[in-house]
């Protein structure tokens, strides 16, 4: 709950909060106050939604974002974007309108896109990838037998996977999917990325048994050209610029507010 206050009373309210008021003021902005009881209601609502009892560390982490959100609601109301007694949903919508109106339109130049692409080539690179099938059996003898049969006729892989493999993908002819480095167990990764396309591995032991792998296809690592990455980079830069502009606006609003964080984090005042 927020109460509208006359401007001369702001300093007095902050002093009262510091002296142990029963419901100390946490934030004052534009003649409105946000009190500890407002924060406690917010915390209680989160706890009631299944988060359990919130620790002091979590409360401290919540406080900053809570006060920033309340300050933006007050700012939106001060600019005529929100009526008194609005619902939480209406408050969120008003804050969105406030940020949309207060933050200038973001523009990204072609030079910025090109410069970001040039300095983030490794980040944009498409990693090496292999598409695998496997036959998983319980013993080395079974695995060597599978390998011998595949050497005689590689076309048997699908049939042998469906009839012999104990892997979860047996019914799919052993099809495991596509993998990048770091997505497979180390023993399987070493074998899979050493094979050329279409080749079948020697039996590979693991805690699950013995794997016979086939590389269905492989894609070499490659750099993504500027033309292909252009829109993705534009979106990323625009999002970053907008977030920075919104953060600057919030910082400006909070700079005009009087905030007493300790009143929310200390022991609850005696009734």
Q: How far apart (Å, rounded) are the C-alpha atoms in residues 109 and 237?
A: 10
For residue 113, the Cα-to-chain-centroid distance in whole angstroms is 24
- Using CA atoms of 141, 147, 148, 149 in order, give the dihedral in degrees to the nearest 10: 110
Please check whether residue 17 is in contact with residue 38, taking contact to mean a CB–CB distance below 8 angstroms: no
Q: Which residues contact 226 (CB under 8 A, 6 or more apart)?
A: 113, 114, 117
Residue 130 makes CB contacts below 8 A (sequence gap 6+) with 178, 179, 192, 193, 195, 215, 217, 218, 219
pLDDT score at 178: 96
Residue 269's pLDDT is: 55
DSSP secondary structure letters along 81-111 = SS-TT--HHHHHHHHHHHHHHHSPPP---HH
Question: What is the pLDDT at residue 20?
Answer: 52
Span 126-219 CATH architecture: Roll (3.10)
Query: Kind and range of the H or E element at 217?
Result: strand 209-219
Hey, is 244 helix, strand or coil?
A: helix
CATH 3.10.50.40 domain locations along the chain: 126-219
Count, residues in the chain: 271
pTM as predicted: 0.60
Helix (H) or strand (E) holding 112: helix 110-119
Q: For 41, phi and psi rounded to 5 degrees?
A: -65, -40
Cα 21–Cα 22–Cα 26 angle in degrees, nearest 5 = 65
Q: What φ, ψ does residue 204 adopt, rounded to 5°?
A: -115, 115
**Mean pLDDT of successive 10-residue segments in the chain (271 residues)?**
45 47 91 94 90 87 94 96 92 95 92 93 85 96 96 95 95 96 94 94 95 94 89 94 95 95 73 54
Which residues neighbour 35 within 8 Å (Cβ) at sequence distance 6 or greater?
1, 2, 3, 23, 24, 25, 26
């Amino acid at each position: 709950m927020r109460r509208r206050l006359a401007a001369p009373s702001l300093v007095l309210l902050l002093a009262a909060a510091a002296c142990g008021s029963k419901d100390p003021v946490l934030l004052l902005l534009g003649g409105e106050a946000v009190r500890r009881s407002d924060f406690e209601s917010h915390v209680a609502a989160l706890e009631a939604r299944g988060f359990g009892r919130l620790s002091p560390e979590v409360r401290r982490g919540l406080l900053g974002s809570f006060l920033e959100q309340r300050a933006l609601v007050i700012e939106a109301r001060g600019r005529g974007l929100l009526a008194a007694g609005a619902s939480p949903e209406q408050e969120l919508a008003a804050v969105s309108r406030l940020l949309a109106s207060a933050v200038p339109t973001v523009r990204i130049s072609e030079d910025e896109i090109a410069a970001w692409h040039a300095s983030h080539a490794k980040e944009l690179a498409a990693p090496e990838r292999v598409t695998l099938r496997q036959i998983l059996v319980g013993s080395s003898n079974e695995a060597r037998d599978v390998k011998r049969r595949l050497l005689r006729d590689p076309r048997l892989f699908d049939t042998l996977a469906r009839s012999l493999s104990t892997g979860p993908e047996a019914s799919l002819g052993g099809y495991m999917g596509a993998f990048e480095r770091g997505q497979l167990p180390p023993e399987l990764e070493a074998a899979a990325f050493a094979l050329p396309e279409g080749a079948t591995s020697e039996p590979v032991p693991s805690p699950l048994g013995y794997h016979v792998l086939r590389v269905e296809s492989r894609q070499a690592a490659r750099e993504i050209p500027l033309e292909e990455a252009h829109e993705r980079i534009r979106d990323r830069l625009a999002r970053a610029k907008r977030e920075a502009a919104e953060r600057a606006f919030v910082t400006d609003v909070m700079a005009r507010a009087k905030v007493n964080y300790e009143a929310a984090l200390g022991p609850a005042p005696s009734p």
